[in-house]
């Protein structure tokens, strides 16, 4: 069993790593979208969806961009996550 201090440190390091992977992509537009998603939405997601987002970050930028902008249909495993992203982006647009 891990002590609470260790888990907090681990979670903080993990969150920093996740934020880094979200904001250092190679495509500025994706860095903005994914970085804001990681900061504002990811903490409120269920553990399963958090893990899904972590796996999602391994996808190619070109593919993510096409899915987020609805240029192409996304694979079924990402549909729910992309839907959450679209809702988040719609909320930002409304502000």
Q: What is the pLDDT of residues 28-64, one digit of tens each?
A: 999 999 999 998 999 889 989 999 999 999 999 999 9
What pLDDT was estimated at residue 93?
A: 73
Other C-beta atoms lying within 10 Å of the C-beta of residue 5 = 8
Taking residues 3-13, report their average pLDDT.
45
* pLDDT for position 34: 95
Q: If we measure between CA atoms, which residue out of 24, 27, 54, 44 comes closest to residue 84?
A: 44
pTM of the complete model: 0.81
Cα–chain-centroid distance for residue 23?
10
Does residue 8 surpass a pLDDT of 70? no
The first and second tokens of residue 66, run together, are: 């096409």
């Amino acid at each position: 069993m891990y002590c609470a201090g260790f888990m907090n440190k681990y979670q903080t390091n993990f969150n920093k790593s996740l934020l880094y992977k979200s904001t250092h992509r190679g495509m500025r537009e994706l860095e903005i979208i994914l970085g804001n998603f990681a900061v504002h939405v990811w903490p409120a997601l269920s553990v399963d969806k958090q893990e899904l987002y972590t796996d999602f970050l391994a996808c190619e930028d070109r593919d993510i961009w096409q899915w987020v902008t609805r240029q192409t249909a996304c694979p079924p495993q990402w549909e729910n996550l992309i839907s959450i992203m679209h809702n988040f982006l719609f909320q930002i647009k409304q502000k």
